[in-house]
Amino acid sequence: MTKGTVPFVTTPFVTPFVTPFVTPVPFVTMEATMYYTSIYPSPVGTLALACDDKGLVGLWLDGQKYHGDGVPGPLQTKDDEPLLVAAKQWLDEYFAGGNPPISSLPLAPIGSAFRQGVWELLCEIPYGEVTTYGALARQMEVRMNKPKMACQAVGGAVGHNPISIIIPCHRVVGTNGSLTGYGGGIQRKIQLLELEGVDMSQYFVPTKGTAL
């Protein structure tokens, strides 16, 4: 894989797993975590952003599968929340054709150790390039020291990515060139890849599959 901007130091999987994303503070009081949200109008439709006081926990496209999935509390609208403002500035640069570093934003996606590992790999896919579900599965085999990793398991983790666009799950395609498997819809996946300058002539839209 071509060297690209990596938002954190990549470390091998160990037991117990230590996530490279923002680590939640251990529970010490009865005070509930607050989750904030704001809307961002974009060229691919309305985006919903969400964060806690540590980092970004969600970015969902309008109508996306698993919208709000994983956030354990209610979302309070707060347009001036600094983390959400920073995420909007990141999106401004991205949709203007720039390549803002993922590392400029504190990310705190909520998910299992396995899913966190897959999302980490997604962040390593360079801007304007793609990888396959099979390639991700092979990388997870090495990191978890397992002889075999099912592409379906990796695909499930990719599909449940809660921070779309910024954690670039749209850069994953089928081994045969199929554009299947994007929760925000195939046309939006195409828009994002075209924005990044990917040559789309080698890929195709499947006649059936997920998130068509």
CA distance 212 to 157: 18
Judge whether 51 counts as a catalytic residue.
no
51 phi and psi angles, rounded to 5 deg = -150, 165
Q: CA nearest 21: which of 52, 42, 47, 45?
A: 52
Cis peptide before 16 (omega within 30 of 0): yes
For residues 37 and 79, the answer to whether their CB atoms sit within 8 Å is no
Active site residues: 169
